[in-house]
């Protein structure tokens, strides 16, 4: 049995749905609560069914706490069988659960914006939340990082006011002292959001080992783990055979020119291509000495989620300084990106062949349901509707089409961590998380506001305003 929030005009009605309930039974329950006759009802729920609910549809995709919109007028102006509760009459946890008010933000506990923004973005990955909750249920009160994170997310879910993540911060700093470093003034120093992301996911990967998806070793790699195939080719001798090895990466990197002479990067795809190629010095048995090897990396297995780091910070040597310690610098160069990312060009040939076979087989359907839908997100739900229509016409091929979409190689942007300021060791981080249509939420520590996709597309850098540093994508699939 699950509870859903049915918004009818300005009212919110809570309805119960049991496994196997039919649309007719659901509508009869709502008629008793609202007085709206079944014949007049129009019910819509994004992601649960397409368009208006019909008698032959299923309610199986409804989720706990999901918002359902009811349109229709009551037969007579009589009191509903179950009293309607208004937002102002609800407790804080109850109001937060409706999804009709802005979610809570995190209080800044002293240069913790790097953490606040990253946690808000990761909170938008439901499978990660499910893994944390399952682990917390097995180990209630656990004092480690996964336990503290699960508790912190639950506090956010139950609040409409800023939450102080004090326990998580203390647990994180105890486990990883680098996040407890202090600045010259004695306060806690600003940290790198990417370092937190990588450190946190490594810690969660070690803990979340039950029922990982895709046959992975843990939940984290089942969600974020890309398999990369790296090939080393000796640039100085054809007699040296290539060396190939595979590894799992939890992010891709977008290189940006900065501090050295190199290719100018203007778009995300250019930076990704640059980061997947390089060179190194390595022993050559054929030459009997160290030689230069060309390194090429390609994606050999896709992941449901993809993190991209814009390499905006780099270390610059200062040989003329008193301590020769060097300085951390920030690259301000603008790098544009789209709301959809096609990774086909970055994949290894066998994976490209599989993706191409899917695209060739389904042709316009894959294009409409995956690529066009992701691009149309910037224009809102109505613009994305034709792509959904293309999938609904699949008939008996629907399961095959969903499998093809899962291997489409197209990802949709759903969260961004931005950095503002010219100082790599200072500045301010914020989180941006996609909602329905072209709506986004901006998490500026404890301040939460609304934005839109067009504004997010302008987070490309080039000035003193916020610019994209970490981007989170999810694979486009049949149900999204």
Q: List Cβ neighbours of 384 (8 Å cut-off, separation of 6 or more).
A: 372, 373, 376, 377, 437
324 is catalytic: no
Q: Which of 113, 121, 254, 307 is catalytic?
A: 113
Give the C-alpha separation, 3 to 355, whole Å: 39
Instruction: State how far the Cα of 445 lies from the Cα of 104, in Å rounded to an integer.
Output: 9
**Residue 332's closest CA among 418, 421, 252, 255?**
421
**At 414, which helix (H) or strand (E)?**
strand 410-420
Active site residue 121: no
Query: What's the CA angle centered on 21, arms 15 and 24, to 5 degrees?
Result: 80
Contacts (Cβ under 8 Å, ≥6 apart) of 461: 310, 312, 332, 333, 334, 335, 467, 468
Q: How far is CA 266 from the centre of its chain?
A: 23
Place of tokens 């544009």: 336
Distance separating alpha carbons of residues 417 and 472, to the nearest angstrom = 9
Query: Cα-Cα-Cα-Cα dihedral of 57, 60, 66, 68, to 10°?
Result: 10
Tokens of 137: 């249920």
Where are the alpha helices (H) located in 126-260, listed in sequence order?
A: 126-138, 145-157, 166-175, 193-207, 219-224
Going by C-alpha positions, the residue among 368, 409, 421, 371 that lies closest to residue 390 is: 368
Range list of H helices, 16-163: 23-34, 92-98, 113-122, 126-138, 145-157
CA distance 119 to 300: 28
User: Collapsing DSSP states into helix, strand and coil, what is residue 69?
Assistant: strand
The single residue of 307, 324, 428, 466 carrying the catalytic annotation is: 428
Torsion sign across C-alpha atoms 42, 45, 51, 53:
negative
CB atoms within 10 A of CB 421: 16
The residues annotated as belonging to the active site are 113, 428
């Amino acid at each position: 049995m699950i509870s859903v929030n049915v918004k009818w005009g300005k009212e919110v009605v809570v309805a119960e749905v049991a496994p196997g309930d039919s649309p007719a039974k659901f509508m009869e329950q709502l008629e008793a609560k609202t007085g709206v006759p079944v014949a007049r009802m129009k019910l819509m729920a994004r992601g649960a069914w397409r368009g208006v609910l019909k008698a032959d549809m299923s309610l199986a995709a409804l989720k706990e706490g999901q918002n359902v919109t009811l349109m229709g007028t009551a037969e007579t102006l009589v009191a509903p069988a179950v009293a309607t509760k208004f937002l102002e009459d609800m407790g804080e946890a109850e109001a937060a659960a409706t999804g009709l008010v802005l979610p809570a933000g995190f209080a800044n506990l002293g240069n913790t914006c790097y953490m606040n923004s990253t946690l808000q973005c990761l909170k938008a990955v439901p499978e990660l939340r499910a893994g944390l909750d399952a682990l917390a249920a097995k180990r209630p009160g656990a004092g480690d990082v996964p336990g503290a994170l699960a508790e912190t997310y639950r506090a956010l879910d139950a609040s409409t006011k800023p939450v102080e993540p004090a326990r998580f911060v203390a647990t994180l700093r105890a486990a990883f002292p680098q996040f407890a470093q202090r600045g010259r003034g004695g306060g806690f120093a600003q940290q790198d959001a990417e370092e937190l992301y990588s450190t946190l996911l490594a810690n969660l990967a070690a803990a979340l080992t039950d029922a990982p998806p895709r046959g992975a070793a843990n939940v984290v790699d089942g969600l974020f783990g890309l398999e990369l195939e790296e090939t080393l080719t000796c640039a100085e001798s054809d007699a040296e055979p290539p060396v190939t090895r595979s590894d799992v990466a939890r992010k891709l990197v977008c290189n940006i020119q900065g501090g050295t002479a190199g290719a100018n990067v203007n778009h995300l795809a250019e930076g990704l291509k640059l980061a997947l190629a390089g060179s190194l010095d390595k022993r050559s048995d054929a030459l009997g000495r160290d030689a230069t090897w060309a390194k090429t990396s390609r994606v050999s297995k896709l992941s449901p989620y993809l993190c991209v780091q814009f390499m905006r910070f780099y270390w610059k040597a200062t040989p003329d300084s008193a301590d020769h310690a060097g300085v951390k610098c920030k690259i301000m160069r603008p790098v544009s990106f789209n709301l959809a990312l096609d990774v086909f060009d970055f994949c290894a040939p066998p994976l490209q062949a599989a993706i191409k076979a899917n695209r060739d087989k389904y042709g316009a359907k894959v294009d409409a349901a995956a690529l066009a839908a992701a691009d149309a997100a910037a224009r809102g739900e109505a613009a994305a509707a034709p792509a959904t229509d293309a999938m609904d016409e699949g008939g008996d091929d629907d399961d095959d089409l969903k499998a093809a979409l899962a291997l489409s190689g197209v990802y949709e942007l759903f969260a961004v961590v931005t950095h503002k300021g010219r100082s790599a060791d200072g500045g301010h981080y914020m989180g941006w998380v996609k909602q329905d249509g072209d709506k986004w939420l901006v998490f500026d520590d404890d301040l939460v506001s609304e934005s839109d996709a067009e504004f997010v597309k302008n987070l490309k850098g080039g000035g003193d305003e916020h610019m994209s540093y970490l981007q989170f994508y999810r694979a486009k699939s049949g149900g999204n």
